[in-house]
Amino acid sequence: MKATVKGKKTLSGKVRVPGDKSISHRGAIVGALARGTTKISGFSPSQDCASTLDVLGKLGVSISIDESFVQIEGKAGRFNQPKEKLHAGNSATTMRLLAGAIAPMPIRVTITGDDSLLRRPMGRIIEPLSLMGAKVISEGGGGFPPLTIEGGNLRGIEYSPPQASAQVKSAILLAGLGATGKTRVRELYPTRDHTERILRQAGVEVFQSENVVTLHPGVPRALELEVPGDISSAAFLLAGAMICPGSTVEVSDVGINPSRSGFLEIARKMGGDIEVEVTDSGFEPKGRITARYSALKGTRIEPREVARAIDEVMLVSLLATQAQGTTIIEGAGELRHKESDRLSATASGLKKLGARVEEREDGFVIEGPCELRGAQVDPYKDHRLAMMFAIAGAAASGVTVINDWEWIEVSYPNFVADMRKLGVEINRGE
């Protein structure tokens, strides 16, 4: 399916975005590992989180879903032996976090996924989980999925992942819950800390310093969890406001956990007019974010900043096309291992729209500002690329056609309705 977006639009209005995907995955997994009944409101409506619920159901976890809550009956650290292969769809978070959660259990589980997931690197979790004592087999060879996990009898380790990855950190911590002794992860740069926060909320002993996390084994207790709006979804609309003249967009109830809100700081550094009002300072803080059309300027983005805005780097590159001067993004090589090779796909799509982008091994050099012109672009079945191109299309002249549109369901099924609410003419077609 394709989508068409008419350009030269002003975005204005107030919206709420779907529940945070990362927090929803973790709420479901920690709830399933807990003792007692967990109730989650604001659960993400994404296909990725539906994959996590589906896999948990096949592991014997009883889950009920109604309009306001997802309710999970915890298995107190012990899933059932599934009868079939489990399917994680497009979701690497499902595969990596669940591989970790399963690793201490005496069961044998194979997890597969769609074509994109079968190309995602799993060596990064196979190594630490194997060091802890699990048997994890790459059925695809070379560290690629499907993965077969034969769990049981783990010991805690101290481990420094060679890449900054919240999924790797979380897989190790979840495995550490059922290991003997403590587990420690030392990160290259701090990444999103939702797993640490939710486990602490569930009574597990987790200690964090800047980039070191230490966890003591234990069974989490059940939670009542309110998931805030997804800042990675909100970022599209906020970016649209900053690059489309005359725009003002307000997004309420968005998660503003500092380990996750790097995009807001980068945008401000570029001169972005962004206001944040904290409305809830609970264990996952929330706020109301307002973005306005801004006179942006080029900047230099370093690896540490990339780690806190890993899913928003493509949007930063879009902002850079409208900013005065040169923007250099470094240390973003991990983007080559996402749902698509996001460095190459972003560079080729933005160039088609008329931007001056040089793709480098680990980032971009972008010269701005430039006049974007509508074109047909390919997001390579990657939800975030499809939505980034839709935002670019709203700022461009003429009409932008985006291929593979159906993939937006992976994270933000309501994106078209929200864009229309803000005044963008966007249509789905053949």
The catalytic residues are 311
Nearer to ligand S3P, 159 or 293 (CB): 159
Count Cα neighbours of 310 within 13 Å in the Cβ-side half-sphere. Answer: 22
For the chain, the C-alpha Rg in angstroms (whole number) is: 21
Beta carbon of residue 39, minimum distance to ligand S3P (angstroms, whole number): 21
Nearer to ligand S3P, 206 or 424 (CB): 206
Q: Which residues bind ligand S3P (CB under 6 A)?
A: 22, 93, 165-167, 170, 192, 310-311, 334
Nearer to ligand S3P, 192 or 286 (CB): 192
Nearer to ligand S3P, 170 or 340 (CB): 170
Beta carbon of residue 23, minimum distance to ligand S3P (angstroms, whole number): 8
Q: What phi-psi label fits residue 340: left (phi over 0), alpha (psi between -120 and 50 degrees) or beta?
A: beta
Beta carbon of residue 9, minimum distance to ligand S3P (angstroms, whole number): 27
Instruction: Kindly list the distances between the CA atom of residue 385 and the CA atoms of 285, 331, 411, in Å, as whole numbers in the listed order.
Output: 27, 19, 12
Beta carbon of residue 311, minimum distance to ligand S3P (angstroms, whole number): 5
From the number of C-beta atoms within 10 Å of its C-beta (0-12, 13-18, 19+), residue 57 rates as: middle
Instruction: Kindly list the distances between the CA atom of residue 163 and the CA atoms of 113, 189, 331, in Å, as whole numbers in the listed order.
Output: 23, 9, 10
Beta carbon of residue 102, minimum distance to ligand S3P (angstroms, whole number): 17
Report whether 162 contacts 188 (CB < 8 A). yes
Beta carbon of residue 38, minimum distance to ligand S3P (angstroms, whole number): 18
Instruction: Kindly list the distances between the CA atom of residue 67 and the CA atoms of 45, 237, 358, 407, in Å, as whole numbers in the listed order.
Output: 11, 25, 46, 24
From the number of C-beta atoms within 10 Å of its C-beta (0-12, 13-18, 19+), residue 200 rates as: middle
Instruction: Show the tokens assigned to 66.
Output: 């109604």
Instruction: Show the tokens assigned to 391.
Output: 């935002």
From the number of C-beta atoms within 10 Å of its C-beta (0-12, 13-18, 19+), residue 289 rates as: buried
Count Cα neighbours of 71 within 13 Å in the Cβ-side half-sphere. Answer: 8
Beta carbon of residue 348, minimum distance to ligand S3P (angstroms, whole number): 20
Nearer to ligand S3P, 340 or 400 (CB): 340
> Which amino acid type is present at position 311?
D
Give the Cα separation of 55 and 33 in Å (integer): 13
Beta carbon of residue 181, minimum distance to ligand S3P (angstroms, whole number): 24
Report whether 271 contacts 238 (CB < 8 A). no
Q: Buried (b) or exposed (e) across 297-327, using 16+ Cβ within 10 A?
A: bbbebebebbbbbbbbbbbbbbbbbbbeebb
Instruction: Show the tokens assigned to 259.
Output: 């380990």
Nearer to ligand S3P, 297 or 336 (CB): 336
Nearer to ligand S3P, 167 or 321 (CB): 167
Q: What phi-psi label fits residue 197: left (phi over 0), alpha (psi between -120 and 50 degrees) or beta?
A: alpha
Nearer to ligand S3P, 203 or 333 (CB): 333
